[in-house]
Amino acid sequence: MQICFCLLLFFCASIALDTDRFHRTTSTNAGVKNVLDYGAKTDPTFDNHDAFQSLFDAIIESGGRGYIPTGTYHIFQSLQWDLGKRSGVIIEGDGAGSSKIVFSTPKNQTGWLFTSDTHDAFYWTFRDLGISGQSTGSLVSFGRPDSGCQSAFNTFWLNGITINQNMKVKTANALELNGVYNSIISASVNGNYLGVSLKLTCAQFTTFTGSYSSGGVGIHITGSYTFANTFSSVDVEVVGNGVVIDASSHGGNNVFIAGTYIVQHCFVVDNADASIMNNNLFMVPNTGYQEHYGVGLPKYCGKLKSVRLVESKGVKAGTDRIVEDDAELAPHMRHVPESGHTFTHSLPSKLQVLVGGPTLDSITINGVTFSSSGGQFHLETGDTMSVQYRGEAPSWSCRLI
C-alpha cells in the first residue's frame, strides 16, 4: 500500500509539473488567452484586426497571457493597443518563424501602434513572434511616430522578435521607439533598403542586442533625449549608413560595444548638437564596406562632434587619434587591469571607465558582481572595481570627469 501511495504521489506531481508545457497548444490553460478563440483565422484574405483587438480587450479586462499559435495572420488596418491599461502582460507565439503577423495597412499608417494614453506602461513582454508587412509609416511603433518622450514604456522586453518592413519608400521604418525606458530589445529588424531599421526619437537606459539591417539607415538617433543606451554586439549590415545621429538635444552617452557594421557609405553620420550632450562611444567595432565585406574602415561623415571610437590603444575621433592620458591617473588605471585584480579609485574627481569586448565575463563594483559585456561606469572616490575576462583583454579607457 505504501509503495502504491508513493507512486500515486509521484504520478500526480509529474502531472502538476508538466501541465505548463501545454500552454502553447491549448486555450483552456488558466490565464492563457488564445487569439483563435477571438475569431482569428490564417486565411490570407481574412482581416484579423478585430480578433487581435478583442484579444487585447480581454487581457485588459481580466488579465492573462496572450498567445498567438503557429500560423500566418493577416491584418489590413492599423492595430492600436494602449499598453497603459494594464501592467505585466506577456504576448507570445511559438517562434518568429512559426507565429507570423502580416500587416498591409493604408498609406501613412503604422502597422502595430502601441500607446500609453491611459497611464505610463510597465512590464510588458513580447516574444517569439514574426512581424512583417508593408506600411508607409513605421511598421511597429512604441508611441506615436515622431512623438518623442510624450509616451512612457518602462521595463519592456522584446525577445525572439523579427520585424521585416517590405514597403520600399523612405518614410517606411521597421521599428520606432518613442519614450522607451529601462528596457531590453533583442530582435532581428530589417528595413526596406530606403527607410530606417531602428529609429529612436526618445529612448533611455535601454539595452539593444540583435540585428538592425537592410535599411537606408541601420540605427537613427534623432528627436531628443535618446541617451545612456547600450548597443551590445549588434549586427548592422546591408545599409546605406550604419548609425545616423542628429538628435536636437540630449543625444549622447550611448555606448556601442563591439558589433558589426557593413555599410555602403558611412559608418557614422554625426550631426548631433554636441553642446547639449556628446560622447557617443563606439568600442572596438568590426566595420567594412558592403562591396568589400569586412574590409577597411568606412569613413565618418558630418560634424563629428559627439562621436568617439574607442580602440584597444586609445580613442579615435573621426580620423584623428586622441589617446586618453590623464597625468593624474595611476599607471595601472591607464590600461585594463589583470583579470580579477581589484583597484580603488582614490582621487577626488569622479572617474569615468569604459570597458567592453567579447572576452569580458563580469564586472565587480564595490563588491557587487554582475554579468556584463561592457559599458560606461562612473566611480566615486573610494569605490573599488575589478573586471573578469577570458584570454585577450577587453577594450579599456578611463578619465577623470
pLDDT at 321: 31
CB 160 within 8 A of CB 127: yes
> Residue 194: is it exposed, middle or buried by C-beta count within 10 angstroms (0-12/13-18/19+)?
middle
pLDDT at 275: 53
Neighbouring residues of 298: CB distance < 8 A, sequence distance ≥ 6? 242, 261, 263, 265, 266, 267, 287, 288, 289
By C-alpha distance, which of 156, 118, 119, 122 is closest to 140? 156
Place of cell 533625449: 225
Entry pTM: 0.74
pLDDT at 277: 56
Could you tell me how far CA 129 lies from the centroid of its own chain?
15
* pLDDT < 70: residue spans in the chain: 1-30, 273-278, 291-298, 304-305, 310-334, 372-373, 399-401
pLDDT at 28: 39
Contacts of 342-345 with C-beta under 8 Å, sequence gap 24+, read 342/384, 342/385, 342/386, 343/384, 343/385, 343/386, 344/382, 344/383, 344/384, 345/379, 345/380, 345/381, 345/382, 345/383, 345/384, 345/385
pLDDT at 192: 86
The one-letter amino acid code at 292 reads H
pLDDT at 332: 52
pLDDT at 189: 97
Spatial separation of the C-alpha atoms in residues 217 and 219, rounded to whole Å: 6
pLDDT at 345: 85
Domains parsed from the chain with CATH numbers: 21-322 (2.160.20), 331-400 (no CATH)
Measure CA of the first residue to CA of the last residue in the chain; give whole Å: 75
Spatial separation of the C-alpha atoms in residues 100 and 103, rounded to whole Å: 10
pLDDT at 168: 86
CA dist list (Å): 279 to 88, 250, 285, 322, 372:
34, 11, 16, 13, 20
Residues in the chain: 401
Q: Count CA atoms closer than 13 A to 333's CA, side-chain side.
A: 21
pLDDT at 26: 36
pLDDT at 401: 67
